[in-house]
Amino acid sequence: MNGTVGDPVAAFRDVAAAHARCVWLDGGGARAWSGRRSLLGWLEPDDVSLTYSAATREVVRHASGRSEVVGDDPFAVLEAELAAGSSTDQWFGYLGYAARADLPAYPSDTVPDAVWMRPSHVRLFDHEPGAGQAENLPRPRITGDVAPASYAAHFGRVQEHLHAGNSYEVNLTYRADVAADLDPATAYLRLRELNPAPYAGFLQHDVPGAEAWLLSSSPERYAVVGADRSIETKPIKGTTLRGATPAEDDARRRELAAEPRFRSENLMIVDLLRNDLSTVCEVGSVGVPVLMEVESYATVHQLVSTVRGRLRDDVTTLGAVRALFPAGSMTGAPKQRTMEIVQEVEDTPRGAYAGAFGWVSADGRADLGVVIRSLTTAGDGVYRLGTGGGITVHSSANEEYAESRWKAERLLRVFDADPPTPGGNTA
């Protein structure tokens, strides 16, 4: 289907106002590697959506005003729906951090741990190259770089595990809540202007008992599966602020590329992903075509690698998505032991944050981003965001906390608020 002519923003506003369940995969801030096409989809009342609660271990199927439990594994139920439907079916949604019941993670206490939708209406829009690319803006409004006591305590416990050899790297995060009466569609339009990104998008699932809104401005690819059975992921590890002048900006870019700590973090996650892919890919097909390339965004430079392979004939697309889940860049290495450490030190569930958001198709293709630089709400007047970063034995609590605030600051400008401290509320 070719892209249509028209204003995707106006179409989005109309669809979000008229349909309780809809999704916008927003190509306005895309890169050449992620494509420059938007997809806007919406569901009629008899169309199907799925939600998952890790607390009850129930997948619920919603259609025609009815909701029924249909399983206990969102990966398996979604795979069954794909197999039972048309070969042209596409499903859109997210898998939250706790979507795999066999891995340690706190169930979400806000939005569902997974939401997937099969819209019967889809419109495509093509964007001009460069459209939606934000300029390098002034450095974030961060005052003070001393980590608060709660973050410092968690950081210290992580260091104990690292020095004991229980993990090589731990992605330590925290959640911040923002009370606001801004409606989700308007909040998303502000977000896309402030922080255009390759995996920008909006999901609305306004169903009683399973309410979820996800507002994404993520720069990170979780995985793309092509028609040729190739699979590619692009982990991000290593972030620094943009410079205030062209000379300073170039210097920061070069420093990021050469910084031993960031290179070590990135290499550990690349090795983890090579191992994850090797469990589902043909022998000898897993490679790293790009290692530690600097990508530049509106306020930060980031160190990005690319890991690629070819799926074995006996591995389904959802099987591969599950094998990689959650993204190694959002856990650390080794994955399962590090997730146990994360569960020990983090005070709040991650919810949709650190999961994956995008689409999967019955023909085997898929494209999902990592849920970072994103906002969620259950429609309760509170928006939530997660932020953090990778911790190694060489990390500094104050530096890591400051980095977490850089990452959150652009999202918080949606509400014209100052960055909160861990667990704090910003009105």
Strand 169-179 versus strand 425-426 pairing type: parallel
pLDDT value of position 183: 97
Q: Is residue 17 in some structural domain?
A: yes
Structure tokens at 359: 């689409």
Neighbours of 5 (CB within 10 A): 7
pLDDT of residue 68 exceeding 80, the answer is yes
Q: Give residue 94's pLDDT band: very low, low, confident or very high (50, 70, 90).
A: very high
Q: Give residue 99's pLDDT band: very low, low, confident or very high (50, 70, 90).
A: very high
pLDDT value of position 1: 46
Q: Is residue 2 in some structural domain?
A: no
Q: Is 339 left (phi over 0), alpha (psi -120 to 50) or beta?
A: alpha
pLDDT of residue 385 exceeding 90, the answer is yes
Domain count across the chain: 1
Structure tokens at 26: 């927003």
Q: Give residue 373's pLDDT band: very low, low, confident or very high (50, 70, 90).
A: very high
Q: Is residue 1 in some structural domain?
A: no
pLDDT value of position 406: 86
pLDDT value of position 426: 42
pLDDT of residue 65 exceeding 70, the answer is yes
**Average pLDDT for 395-399:** 94
Neighbours of 3 (CB within 10 A): 16
Catalytic residues: 220, 237
Provide the domain limits for residue 259: 8-426
Strand 356-361 versus strand 366-370 pairing type: antiparallel
Q: Give residue 28's pLDDT band: very low, low, confident or very high (50, 70, 90).
A: confident
Q: Are 36 and 126 in contact (CB under 8 A)?
A: yes
**Average pLDDT for 121-149:** 69
pLDDT in tens, 46-60: 999 999 999 999 999
Q: Give residue 134's pLDDT band: very low, low, confident or very high (50, 70, 90).
A: very low
Q: Is residue 209 in some structural domain?
A: yes
Give the domain CATH number at 240.
Answer: 3.60.120.10
Q: Are 40 and 92 in contact (CB under 8 A)?
A: no
> How far is it, in rounded angstroms, from Cα 106 to Cα 99?
10
Q: Is residue 3 in some structural domain?
A: no
Q: What mean pLDDT is reported for the chain?
A: 91
Structure tokens at 411: 């999202």
pLDDT of residue 427 exceeding 50, the answer is no
Q: Is residue 283 in some structural domain?
A: yes
**Average pLDDT for 397-419:** 87
pLDDT of residue 419 exceeding 90, the answer is no
